[in-house]
Homo-oligomer: A and B are copies of this chain.
Amino acid sequence: MIRAGIINVTGYVGAELARLLAEHPEVEIASVTGRSQAGKRLAEVFPHLWSVDLPVEEELSDEVDVVLSALPHAAAAATLAPHIAAGTPVIDCSADFRLHDVSSYEQWYGEHPEPDLLPGATYGLPELHRDAIRESRLVAVPGCYPTAAILGLAPLAASGWLRSAIVDAKSGVSGAGRALKQTSHFSEVSANFSAYGLGGHRHQPEMAQELGELGERDEIPITFVPHLIPMVRGILATCYAELSGAELPSNPEDAREVLVERYESFYEDHPFVQVMPNPPSTKETMGSNACLLYPNVDVVTGQVSVVSCIDNLMKGAAGGAVQCLNLMQGFDERAGLSSIGLYP
């Protein structure tokens, strides 16, 4: 059993980390922090964790073997720097260590508190960087939207086929966190659907970075438009791809067959990504670490599209973090994670 510490357990990603690690066969939660609630028991803050008997502390109080952070950006890098310096393995769910390019970070998030740490960080998407994650001591868990979009487009990018893409993504409200805002107020959001971030969204550069690297291109233009679904968990990204040439047969059915083969072979060794025979729905992934994909070719126009579904708090955050933890510690990649959604 390794001893894990969770920093900022009091948001949704933190609570999900606590849920997963409390039942992880190889991990013991040694300490959890959350400044605004320090002094309470965890179960006072989150009654669903009534059976997890831990105090919420100001600082990680125990020696821990690994640190998982659910702090927001900027606070994350500042708080994690000493742990990194001490050589403790760190898994960070914020944006602080995702982008290689500091100027890109600063355009969306403001000044970076610890830019010198960037070169040592690994982008924590096991399906693209599994070996690097195994060797890394600082892993940046991808954003929820990028997880869905990159997994949806990676096989095309890696084949050199992807010229540009439109990612029309839809997310449950938990992606906006636990803080109070008008746009997370029940009466505003319930039975309602909206687009947002039309002036640009900070998750776009991650998609461009990872797909560009895969495609060995300077740049793959990605138009990203997020939408808010009146439900709690789940992301569905519909990714419209413009391909660079005559990669696919002109008949839509044949083209789809080629695509499916491409996707199945790309994800062959990855236990949480599955190419589905029918279009998936978000609830099929609820509470699980799965990413379900459906590549398609429009019968009228020949447009290539890929539907990608995840649970934003799981594969898109806490589940992805635990998957990285498993790799870093040499555990079974699936330990403590389910591939079965809570359905219905």
* Chain A residues close to B by CB (< 8 Å): 12, 15, 19, 22-23, 44, 46-52, 164, 166, 168, 170, 172-174, 178, 180-182, 184-196, 198-200, 204, 221-225, 227, 229-234, 236, 238, 240, 274, 276-288, 290, 292, 294, 296, 298-301, 303, 305, 307, 338-344
Docked Cα-Cα span, A51 to B284, in Å, equals: 11
Interface centre among A50, A166, A172, A282 (most CB of B within 10 A): A50
Residues of B within 8 A of A283 (CB): 48, 191-193
Residues of B within 8 A of A232 (CB): 186-187, 190-191, 344
Q: Please determine whether B298 and A344 come into contact, CB atoms closer than 8 angstroms.
A: no
Across the interface, A300 reaches (CB within 8 A) one of B50, B168, B223, B277, namely B223
- Supposing A47-B278, A180-B185 touch, asked if A238 and B168 sit within 8 A by C-beta, the answer is yes
Q: Please determine whether A303 and B50 come into contact, CB atoms closer than 8 angstroms.
A: no
Q: Please determine whether B170 and A279 come into contact, CB atoms closer than 8 angstroms.
A: no
Can you report 18 residue pairs joining A to B where beta carbons are below 8 Å apart? A22-B340, A23-B338, A48-B288, A48-B343, A50-B292, A180-B181, A184-B186, A186-B186, A188-B344, A190-B230, A191-B286, A193-B281, A195-B279, A200-B299, A222-B301, A223-B300, A227-B238, A233-B344
What is the CB-to-nearest-CB distance from A30 to chain B, in angstroms, rounded to a whole number?
Answer: 18
Q: Please determine whether A193 and B229 come into contact, CB atoms closer than 8 angstroms.
A: yes
Residues of B within 8 A of A278 (CB): 47
Q: Please determine whether B343 and A280 come into contact, CB atoms closer than 8 angstroms.
A: no
Residues of B within 8 A of A303 (CB): 166, 223
The oligomer's copy count stands at 4
Across the interface, A49 reaches (CB within 8 A) one of B23, B230, B340, namely B340
Interface centre among A204, A278, A280, A342 (most CB of B within 10 A): A342
Q: Please determine whether A300 and B48 come into contact, CB atoms closer than 8 angstroms.
A: no
What is the CB-to-nearest-CB distance from A201 to chain B, in angstroms, rounded to a whole number?
Answer: 9
Across the interface, A343 reaches (CB within 8 A) one of B15, B172, B231, B301, namely B15
Docked Cα-Cα span, A326 to B170, in Å, equals: 37
Residues of B within 8 A of A299 (CB): 199-200
Residues of B within 8 A of A164 (CB): 301
Q: Please determine whether A344 and B174 come into contact, CB atoms closer than 8 angstroms.
A: yes
Residues of B within 8 A of A195 (CB): 236, 238, 279, 294, 307
Residues of B within 8 A of A184 (CB): 185-187
Docked Cα-Cα span, A128 to B181, in Å, equals: 40
Residues of B within 8 A of A12 (CB): 187, 344
Q: Please determine whether B193 and A234 come into contact, CB atoms closer than 8 angstroms.
A: yes
Docked Cα-Cα span, A44 to B153, in Å, equals: 25
Q: Please determine whether B276 and A340 come into contact, CB atoms closer than 8 angstroms.
A: no
Interface centre among A164, A174, A191, A222 (most CB of B within 10 A): A191
Closest Cβ neighbor of A196 among chain B residues: B279
Q: Please determine whether B342 and A342 come into contact, CB atoms closer than 8 angstroms.
A: yes
Residues of B within 8 A of A343 (CB): 15, 19, 46, 48
What is the CB-to-nearest-CB distance from A148 to chain B, in angstroms, rounded to a whole number?
Answer: 12
Docked Cα-Cα span, A284 to B193, in Å, equals: 10
